[in-house]
Amino acid sequence: MSYGYTGKILEIDLTAGTHNVLKMGEDFYRKYLGGPGIATYFALKNITPHTEPLSPDNVLIFATGILTGSFGPAVPRYTVCAKSPLTDTIGKSEAGGFWGPELKKAGYDAIIVRGKAKDPVYVNIADGAVKIKSAAAVWGKDTLETQNALEQAEGEGTRVLQIGPGGENQVLMANIVNELGHFNGRNGLGAVMGSKNLKAIVVKGSENVPCYDKEFPKDLSRWVAKNLKDHALAYGLYWNGTPGGITTMNANGSLPTKNWQESVFDRAEEIGAQSLEKILIKRKGCFSCPVRCKRVVESKDSEMPINPALGGPEYETLVCLGSNLGIGDIKLVSKANELCNRYTLDTMSLGMTISFAMECYEKGFLTKEDTGGIELTFGNEDILLDLIRMTAFKEGFGKDLALGSYRLAQQLGKETENFLLQVKKQELPAHDPRVKAGLALQYAISSHGADHWFAQHDTLYTEKGSSGMQSIAQLGVAEPVPADELSAQKAKLIYYTHLMTIMYDCLGVCIFGYASRSIVSLEKLAQLVEAVTGWNISMWEMLKAGERASVMMRSFNGREGFTSSDDVLPPRVYDGITNGPRRGEKLNEAVFTQAREVYYQMAGLNEQGLPTISKLAELEIDWLAE
């Protein structure tokens, strides 16, 4: 009997219209756990080096974690991998919601999708049975229309994962959504679905995930629900959601504003959690999550109606489509969020691409002629919704925005690269590495372009006795490090918390439910894994499984020709902050390069940033050496 996993991986060939089932044993699951561990394993085995990301040869993998769907607290997550059309690296993106747990209940731990359907299709998986069906009726529809149509066609309780027009039109920043509010947001993996003519994968299952100890996961969830109020960080996530970060970031002088030209926004309060409260109608959660950090907003204003079925904006969206564009209207930014959700566009990459274009316009590298008459200025509230729609449908100037900021800069000329905020062609999230210096390593070293969840954030580890320091003590980190310091100790902190974070992805748990960001400690997590799987497994073994996934991702990139010369930061972060309390603060490039070197050595990467033979041997993935 297996616990925590079904042992079955579904392979679908869209070109042939066939499917088959791979059976994997306990050794495989214990070694790779799930999420990016399993997904990257199959990416390496199935994607030939230098595959064109939007060709039928790319392979799309959906993989749940070993805890996904187990009724422990905050265990909804699954990973999507493919070669990314945005970054040309391994693409990796996690989402919560309900689809991952339902996939397991339907009998599969993961799905491998290859080829391309002749005409648009969706895949229906119901209690193990697989059907490939025509998507003619929903192709071209937005996500709300598609969700309703597929629920009606497949029955109540069906969980829908899908792409909207952004994915169908292969916009390079298109994402994937399940149940209208949970996104595999980054790396343009929705465009890969679109390139395969795959509109949706709908799942329905009736078998609960087998757990060795059925009671412990539920007891732990009940404990979290009961004690949430006593944990300031976790309760803050429930009460304010991620938008709680807006006013904090603004007060400490690190709120990206007008394409990061400024770091304090005079209208920050207007897009913060308290303003959002005025249109908030509900707090919502993912599968089995007592933290419930999701927002649902509504406006019945006839000028700016907002449909609550599409959820509500997160911190990153409020910044990237708000302060970063000089926009301070909460209803407008929430409407922009709704449109991005309808069309499946990543709000971070889109917002940062628009802000890059605005700076180019401001400095004369783009003209009204280029934009089709659009006055592309910061703070212009009249153009935002049109720009989103034009990007999703690649209309007019939207066709340029659909390329993302890096490729747009290539079109506009070398001088515009100074305004770019990207790593490996993926736009930066809304956290400033000049203030949280560990993010410099996170953004640069991440295998799939700038990612703020590569590791945990500096501010959790600046004071003795803080919840962050208490939680990381188990890994042997005893001394706090200032947020803006980029020392060898900071490199260690990022290395250790990267292992912790990618282990969470492999397990299928949400970072907002677990240490250091939240209430469940590493000790309790280890107990949960034992209870679900029945394995006598240590935290060391799980962290090493996380590291295995990380090293496999870097190996994928190594095959594609990526080296340390790609682990670099955009020029603007070496410029001083221009306004607010942190004015003048900047990163030092030599200090960053030194910290990156220290990180490489700790992580078993050579001077080119590639895994050493000894690291591959330690992790028992020597098969990658060739």
Positions in the binding site for ligand SF4 (CB under 6 A): 74, 76, 96, 285-286, 289, 291-294, 510, 512-513
Please state the closest distance from residue 237 (CB atom) to ligand SF4, in A: 6
Query: Least distance to ligand SF4 from the beta carbon of 282, Å?
Result: 12
Least distance in angstroms from the C-beta of 319 to ligand SF4: 18
In whole angstroms, how close is the CB of 512 to ligand SF4 at the nearest point?
Answer: 3
Of residues 276 and 403, the one with the C-beta less far from ligand SF4: 276
Which residues, in sequence order, are CB contacts of 322 under 8 Å at separation 6+? 265, 271, 328, 333
Distance CA 85, CA 188 (A): 6
For 215, list phi and psi in degrees, rounded to 5: -80, -35
Of 354 and 509, nearer to ligand SF4 (C-beta) is 509
Nearest distance from residue 480's CB to ligand SF4, in Å? 25
* Separation between Cα atoms, residue 561 and residue 49, nearest integer Å: 9
Of the two residues 223 and 393, which places its CB atom closer to ligand SF4 in the complex?
A: 223
Q: Which residues, in sequence order, are CB contacts of 528 under 8 Å at separation 6+? A: 67, 70, 72, 216, 217, 220, 520
**CA 97 – CA 179 distance, rounded (Å):** 7
Residues 105, 6 contacting (CB under 8 angstroms):
no
C-beta of 244: minimal distance to ligand SF4 in Å? 13
**Across the strands, what pairs with 126?**
129, 204
Q: What is the DSSP string of 507-557?
A: HT--GGGBTTTSSB-HHHHHHHHHHHH-----HHHHHHHHHHHHHHHHHHH
Kindly tell me which of 255 and 289 has the beta carbon lying closer to ligand SF4.
Answer: 289
Q: Which residue pairs from 578-584 have beta carbons closer than 8 angstroms and sit at least 24 positions apart in sequence?
A: 578/261, 578/262, 578/263, 579/253, 579/262, 579/263, 579/264, 580/253, 580/262, 580/263, 580/264, 581/251, 581/252, 581/253, 581/264, 582/252, 582/253, 582/254, 582/263, 582/434, 582/435, 583/253
Nearer to ligand SF4 among residue 112 and residue 246 (C-beta): 246
Residue 171 vs 289, nearer CB to ligand SF4 = 289
**Residue 317 amino acid letter:** T
Categorise residue 561: left if φ over 0, alpha if ψ from -120 to 50, beta otherwise. Answer: left
Residue with tokens 């409020």: 318
Strand 280-284, strand 159-162: pairing: unpaired
Cβ closer to ligand SF4: 355 or 516? 516
Angle between helices 36-46 and 488-507 (to 10 degrees): 80
Secondary structure string (H, E, C) spanning 145-213: HHHHHHHHHHCCCCEEEECCHHHHCCCCCECEEECCCEEECCCCHHHHHHHCCEEEEEEECCCCCCCCC
Pick 30 or 283: Cβ nearer ligand SF4 = 283
| Closest approach of ligand SF4 to the CB of residue 104, in Å | 16
Q: Which is nearer to ligand SF4, 293 or 542 (CB)?
A: 293
Least distance in Å: CB of 606 to ligand SF4?
36
Pick the closer one to ligand SF4 by CB: 239 or 393.
239
| Shortest distance (Å) from residue 504 CB to ligand SF4 | 10
Q: How far is the CB of 524 from ligand SF4 (least distance, A)?
A: 16
The CB-of-153 to ligand SF4 minimum distance in angstroms stands at 27
Retrieve residue 458's tokens.
Answer: 């500096």
Q: Nearer Cβ to ligand SF4, position 439 or 509? A: 509
The minimum distance between CB 90 and ligand SF4, in angstroms, equals: 23
**Smaller CB separation from ligand SF4, 12 or 74:** 74
